């Protein structure tokens, strides 16, 4: 019996990276996990297969976020998958992890990129929470994945950091709305986390990131997933409206 046995979870953007690690951890603790993806069905299936090989339960659900009808598409697939497996569309845990990032000189930023980042990173999580409200069970969990870049200046990532800063406002403002139902809402701020991106092949960059951490190593997706899993558990029932630094001490002055 895991800490999350009998729970259902939706993890957006969970076909790879931090989202995949979160989905796997939640399933290891007994949750039935909806693995959301945008276009890479094969990667989503791999996540589901990994979970099932370890004895967990999961299913994939597709929806492109940040476009008209995104929430309807996602919750339509989610409700269908949950009813097939549990008989209801009740949701215990919502993890808003999906995000897009465009980095580069401020001078090269475009209105199109700006609008896309806000649509995926801010608008989609807000309306996913709104849609989830009638489905969230008593004592449920909402966990939003932000970024340590909201606390660390990087001109090349200013638009992305702005969207994550906006995302962080959801927890303190919605905590009192959700609290009477025993639902907590919190934000996790990962630092530089090894997810398989090409830039991790640069030894100089890895060394620079390592030196930034108080723990003198780079972050792994599992490090963040463990924090999310804790917040999803009953042990975190007294934490809400908070932001949790999961940067390995990279923000310590």
Q: Which residues are CB-contacts of 49 (< 8 A; sequence separation ≥ 6)?
A: none
| Contact (Cβ atoms closer than 8 angstroms) between residue 215 and residue 247 | no
Region of 247 (left: φ > 0; alpha: ψ -120 to 50; beta: rest) is alpha
> How is residue 203 written in tokens?
């030894």
- Judge residue 244's burial from the number of C-beta atoms within 10 Å of its C-beta, 0-12 exposed, 13-18 middle, 19 or more buried: buried
| Contact (Cβ atoms closer than 8 angstroms) between residue 192 and residue 212 | yes
Q: Which residues are CB-contacts of 141 (< 8 A; sequence separation ≥ 6)?
A: 92, 93, 94, 183, 184, 185, 231, 232, 236
Give the phi and the psi of residue 147 in degrees, each rounded to 5: -165, 145
Q: Minimal CA–CA distance to 9: which of 18, 46, 167, 28?
A: 28
| Whole-angstrom distance, CA of residue 241 vs CA of residue 184 | 7
Q: Which residues are catalytic?
A: 146-147, 160, 164
> How is residue 171 written in tokens?
């927890």
Q: Which residue is it, tokens 């099932």?
A: 52
| Whole-angstrom distance, CA of residue 42 vs CA of residue 215 | 35
């Amino acid at each position: 019996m895991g800490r999350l046995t009998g729970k259902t979870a939706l993890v957006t953007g969970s076909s790879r990276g931090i989202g995949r690690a979160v989905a796997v951890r939640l399933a290891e603790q007994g949750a039935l996990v909806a693995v959301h993806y945008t276009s890479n069905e094969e990667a989503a299936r791999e996540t589901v297969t990994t979970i099932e090989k370890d004895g967990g339960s999961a299913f994939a659900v597709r929806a492109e976020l940040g476009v008209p009808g995104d929430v309807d598409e996602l919750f339509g697939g989610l409700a269908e998958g949950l009813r097939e497996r549990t008989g209801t569309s009740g949701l215990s845990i919502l993890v808003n992890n999906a995000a897009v990032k465009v980095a580069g000189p401020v001078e090269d930023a475009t209105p199109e990129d700006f609008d896309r980042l806000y649509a995926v990173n801010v608008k989609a999580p807000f309306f996913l929470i709104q849609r989830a409200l009638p489905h969230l069970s008593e004592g449920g969990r909402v966990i939003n994945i932000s970024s340590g870049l909201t606390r660390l200046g990087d001109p090349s990532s200013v638009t992305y950091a702005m969207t994550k800063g906006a995302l962080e406002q959801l927890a303190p403002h919605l905590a009192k709305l959700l609290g009477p139902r025993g639902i907590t809402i919190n934000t996790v701020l990962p630092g530089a986390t090894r997810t398989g991106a090409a830039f991790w092949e640069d030894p100089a960059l890895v060394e620079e990131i390592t030196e930034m951490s108080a723990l003198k190593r780079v972050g792994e997706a599992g490090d963040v997933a463990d924090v999310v899993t804790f917040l999803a558990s009953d042990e975190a029932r007294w934490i809400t409206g908070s932001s949790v630094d999961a940067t390995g001490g990279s923000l310590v002055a």
